Chains A and B, each alone.
Chain A
Amino acid sequence: MSLADIPVDETEKLSRFILFSKWLRSDQTVRSEAFIPHPYIDLSVTRQRNISGSELWNLGKEVSTIRKCTLYGRADIFAEPVMKQNLTIEPSEPPLNHANIKGYPEDKSKQKLIALELAAEACFIALG
């Protein structure tokens, strides 16, 4: 079922797939680089709403297959801390359950600060 017309609620969980090993620390916490936007000033995430865990992993595996990268896991974060940063989360399908976090400032150092705070709120879930 498409979520394209359903706004993101602050209690929703979002996932950022981790396909670069250096975005994880040795203690399995997520580094801020995973939340730096590029090439546009928005960040691609997947909503966990209305899909199962395996469906969510399948979406991640699709990305890793297309990009020929290794899927290490995902960084889960609630929408609330994202919204507290004065960022918006806009549904953007396809692909299924895709959304963009928008509203990052253009200044990179400010982006970094936001990313540090989001990473602190995120929880890493390893694949497998």
Chain B
Amino acid sequence: MNYTVPMNSSLAYQLRPGLAGFSREAVFVASEKQSLAGRLMETVTFGERDRAILSRLFSVISQTANEGWDGYGALPVSVKTYIKTMEFLCVLPGTVKLPEMSADPDGSLSMEWYRSPEWIVSISIDGNGKLDYAAIFGDRKYHGSMYFADEIDKEVLNHIGRV
């Protein structure tokens, strides 16, 4: 049997919704997945990381729900932005540490992997899935934009992995 070590062993990633479906059977499968995910999430073994994700997100959301939360006219973080960022965090490989969360004044959520001011990656995601990143590794600097669907771009993953 060929076995590839999964890049991502996160429970949420393994049991994430697949393609759309409208039949009763599609709804049934989705419900079974959700039920299974729910039961496993309750455990420390499987649910720890996903709960940490929720906790970090909620910590930011609760402070950015109002317009002007930064004192300068910032837009509130929307539910869609929260969902998109959650999806991103859930497909992050389990071997990668979770980022520190914050928010940008334009209402997107931002994630930071930080070792020092000269070794850092910052990623922002908005409600449409637009992902903007910037990274500094000593004298090397990178930046770029893309749309996040459900897989993290390899270049972005490489940057995160370097921190």
User: Measuring CB to CB, which residues of chain A are less than 8 angstroms from any residue of chain B?
Assistant: 17, 19-23, 25, 29, 31-33, 36-39, 44, 63-64, 67, 69, 71, 107-110, 112-113, 115-117, 119-120
Q: How large is the interface on B (under 10, 10 to 19, 20 to 34, 35 or more residues)?
A: 35 or more
Known contacts A19-B70, A44-B72: does B63 contact A36 (CB below 8 Å)? no
In the bound assembly, the distance between CA atoms of A113 and B141 in angstroms comes to 8
A37 in contact with B143 (CB, 8 Å): no
Which residues of B sit under 8 angstroms from A38, Cβ to Cβ? 72-75, 104-106
> Nearest CB to that of A17 among chain B residues?
B71
B145 CB-CB contact with A under 8 Å: yes
Which residues of B sit under 8 angstroms from A31, Cβ to Cβ? 100, 102, 112
B88 CB-CB contact with A under 8 Å: no
> Which of B69, B103, B106 is in CB contact (< 8 Å) with A39?
B106
**In angstroms, how far is the closest chain A Cβ from the Cβ of B158?**
16
Q: Which of B125-155 touch A at CB < 8 Å?
A: 132-134, 136, 141, 143-145
> Which of B101, B106, B144 is in CB contact (< 8 Å) with A36?
B106
Known contacts A39-B73, A108-B124, A112-B143: does B101 contact A67 (CB below 8 Å)? no
**In angstroms, how far is the closest chain A Cβ from the Cβ of B82?**
14
- What are the 4 closest A-B residue pairs judged by CB atoms, nearest first? A38-B105, A120-B117, A19-B71, A112-B134
- Count A-B contacts at CB 8 Å: 99
A69 in contact with B71 (CB, 8 Å): yes
User: Measuring CB to CB, which residues of chain B are less than 8 angstroms from any residue of chain A?
Assistant: 59-60, 63-64, 68-75, 100-106, 110, 112, 114, 117-118, 120, 122, 124, 132-134, 136, 141, 143-145
B124 in contact with A112 (CB, 8 Å): yes
A110 in contact with B143 (CB, 8 Å): yes
In the bound assembly, the distance between CA atoms of A32 and B145 in angstroms comes to 17
B134 in contact with A113 (CB, 8 Å): yes
Q: In this complex, which of A22, A107, A113 has the most chain B Cβ atoms within 10 angstroms of its Cβ?
A: A22
Q: Told that A20-B103, A38-B75, A115-B122 touch, could you supply 18 new A-B pairs with CB distance under 8 A?
A: A19-B69, A19-B72, A20-B64, A20-B71, A22-B59, A22-B60, A22-B100, A23-B102, A25-B114, A38-B104, A39-B73, A67-B71, A108-B106, A109-B132, A109-B143, A113-B143, A120-B117, A120-B136
